[in-house]
């Protein structure tokens, strides 16, 4: 994925997926071995494995969507439906095997609460780590330090090692840093559930701010209440395929009526 330098839409962010497909190769031990591969080549295929993989899982098939400022998209689907993979494709982590992803604007992603955190380092030190990982410079993080600290509402805990933190506290820290970088496109995997009611309320308010600033929010969640409150569009995924895109209520209904989870 790349930043499109020539603005297509008067300075606003956008996120477009055009017939995106993603396959994950499944390697057997031999296919990962250079020695095995060389034995095959060196012996003209007589020695060793002849089938070097070829097995792959289609994680996403032919996904297209066009997100514009103000769009708050919910990703719905059972475990393994492809929600997380789709979020990672939107974030530019996986470049699609087929199709294209284009975006404009700063992308903020929040997939793993403890990502990059040093358990023995303090909350403040981890604010710096996460800030740099979110694409800010050291100077930018320092400038926003106070504001980030205030939003976490963690007080003196920020001077404690984060290994003493609960998952709810990690969420506060991670969310505060991620959203303070003022992303135009905010991508979140389902974890908002670990926050307490008071924090979830503040988090929702901040997501609303991002949307009001001509931003885009994409949220994968299993919580119909959260989705109904936060989102105005929804996409239902099943086994990597797009079952439907539309208004939240309609998609939630389709989701409830959809086939039960795998197995």
Partner 1 sequence: MSATLPPAPSLARLAADDLRDGVLNPDLWLMLGWQDIRRRYRRSALGPFWLTLSMGAMIGGIGLVNSGLFNVGMGVLLPSMSLGIVVWTLISSSITDACMAFTGAEALIRQSRQPFSTYLLRLIWRNLIIFAHNMVIVVVVLAIWPPHGWWMLPLSLLGLALLLLNIGWICLLVGVVCTRFRDLPQIVTSVLQLLFFVTPIFWLPSQLAGLRKAIVDYNPLYHLLEVVRAPLLGAPVPALSWVWAVGMLVVGWALALYFFVSFRRRLPYWL
Residues engaged in binding partner 1 (CB under 8 A) = 1-2, 4, 6, 8, 16, 18-19, 24-25, 32-35, 37, 64, 66, 88, 91-95, 100, 102, 107, 109, 111-112, 115-116, 118, 120-121, 128-129, 132-135, 137-138
**Least CB distance from residue 201 to partner 1, whole Å?**
26
* DSSP one-letter code for 116: T
Handedness of CA 202, 203, 204, 210 (dihedral sign): positive
96 neighbors 89 (Cβ within 8 angstroms): yes
Q: Are 90 and 216 in contact (CB under 8 A)?
A: no
**C-beta closer to partner 1: residue 77 or 131:** 131
- Closest contact distance (angstroms) between CB of 204 and partner 1 is 23
To partner 1, the closest distance from the beta carbon of 80 in angstroms equals: 16
Q: How far is the CB of 79 from partner 1 (least distance, A)?
A: 18
Which helix (H) or strand (E) is 159 found in, with range? none
**Which of residues 17 and 200 has its CB atom nearest to partner 1 in the complex?**
17
Q: Are strands 107-110 and 185-188 parallel, antiparallel or unpaired?
A: parallel
Least separation in angstroms between residue 100's CB and partner 1 is 6
**SS3 state at 155:** helix
Name the minimum Å distance from CB 37 to partner 1.
7
Choose between 103 and 255: whose C-beta lies nearer to partner 1: 103
* Cβ(130)–Cβ(118) below 8 Å: no
What are the CA-CA distances from residue 42 to residues 37, 45, 46, 77, 119 (Å)? 9, 7, 9, 47, 48
Of 28 and 204, which has the nearer Cβ to partner 1?
28
3 phi/psi in degrees, rounded to 5: -75, 130
Report how far residue 151's alpha carbon sits from residue 242's, in angstroms, rounded to the nearest whole number. 36
d(CA 199, CA 129): 22
C-beta closer to partner 1: residue 82 or 258: 82
Backbone φ, ψ for residue 134 (5° rounding): -80, 0
Smallest gap, in angstroms, from Cβ of residue 228 to partner 1? 27
Q: Give the C-alpha separation, 62 to 57, whole Å.
A: 14
């Amino acid at each position: 994925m790349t930043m499109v330098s020539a603005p297509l839409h008067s300075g606003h962010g956008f996120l477009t997926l055009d017939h995106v497909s993603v396959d994950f190769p499944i390697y057997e031990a031999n296919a990962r071995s250079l020695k095995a591969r060389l034995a095959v080549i060196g012996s003209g295929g007589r020695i060793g494995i002849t089938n070097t993989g070829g097995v792959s899982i289609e994680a996403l098939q032919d996904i297209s969507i066009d997100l514009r400022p103000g769009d708050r998209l919910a990703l719905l689907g059972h475990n393994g439906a492809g929600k997380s993979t789709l979020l990672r494709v939107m974030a530019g982590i996986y470049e699609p095997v087929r199709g294209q992803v284009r975006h404009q604007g700063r992308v903020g992603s929040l997939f793993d609460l403890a990502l990059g955190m040093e358990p023995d380092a303090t909350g403040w030190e981890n604010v710096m780590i996460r800030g740099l990982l979110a694409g800010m410079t050291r100077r930018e993080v320092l400038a926003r330090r106070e504001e980030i600290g205030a939003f976490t509402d963690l007080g003196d805990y920020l001077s404690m090692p984060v290994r003493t933190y609960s998952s709810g506290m990690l969420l506060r820290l991670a969310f505060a840093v991620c959203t303070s970088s003022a992303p135009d496109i905010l991508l979140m995997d389902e974890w908002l559930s670990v926050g307490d009611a008071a924090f979830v309320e503040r988090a929702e308010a901040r997501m609303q701010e991002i949307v009001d600033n001509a931003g885009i929010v994409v949220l994968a969640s299993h919580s119909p209440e959260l989705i109904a409150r936060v989102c105005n569009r929804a996409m239902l995924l099943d086994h990597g395929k797009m079952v439907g895109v539309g208004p939240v209520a309609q998609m939630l209904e389709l989701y409830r009526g959809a086939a039960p989870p795998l197995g």
